[in-house]
């Protein structure tokens, strides 16, 4: 599952972890720590997502639920202050818009 947040982009999968956990992956340093502070993040240049952390499923669900409950914007892209992240999301938006058509 891709999770696009206004301050982080995450990929969450069930891979290489215990059944009660999920593998949270990120392309940018610091994105995992923003959402899951205190969990060990490993880095590797030999994987498609450089940064990874094994996080209990319950913790993942609770963190994403908190983010959902705190939505206070009418336009997601406008809520993204980080220029590089905003540009990436704009490209995703364009790709998905073309899919809609």
The answer to the question of residue 27 being in a domain is: yes
The answer to the question of residue 93 being in a domain is: no
The answer to the question of residue 91 being in a domain is: no
29-39: pLDDT as tens digits: 999 999 999 99
CB 37 within 8 A of CB 59: no
CB 11 within 8 A of CB 28: no
pLDDT computed for residue 23 by the predictor:
98
34-82: pLDDT as tens digits: 999 999 999 999 999 999 999 999 999 999 999 999 999 999 999 999 9
The answer, yes or no, to whether residue 101 has pLDDT greater than 90, is: no
Q: What is the pTM of this model?
A: 0.94
Q: Across all residues in the chain, what is the average pLDDT?
A: 97
Q: State the total domains in the chain.
A: 1
């Amino acid at each position: 599952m891709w999770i696009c947040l206004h301050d982080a982009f995450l990929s969450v999968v069930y891979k290489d972890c215990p059944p009660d956990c999920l593998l949270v992956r990120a392309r940018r340093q610091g994105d995992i720590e923003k959402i899951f502070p205190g969990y060990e993040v490993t880095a590797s240049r030999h994987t498609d997502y450089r940064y990874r952390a094994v996080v209990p499923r319950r913790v993942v669900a609770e963190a994403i639920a908190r983010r959902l409950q705190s939505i206070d914007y009418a336009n997601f892209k406008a809520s993204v202050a980080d220029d590089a992240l905003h540009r990436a999301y704009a490209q995703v938006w364009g790709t998905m818009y073309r899919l809609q058509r």
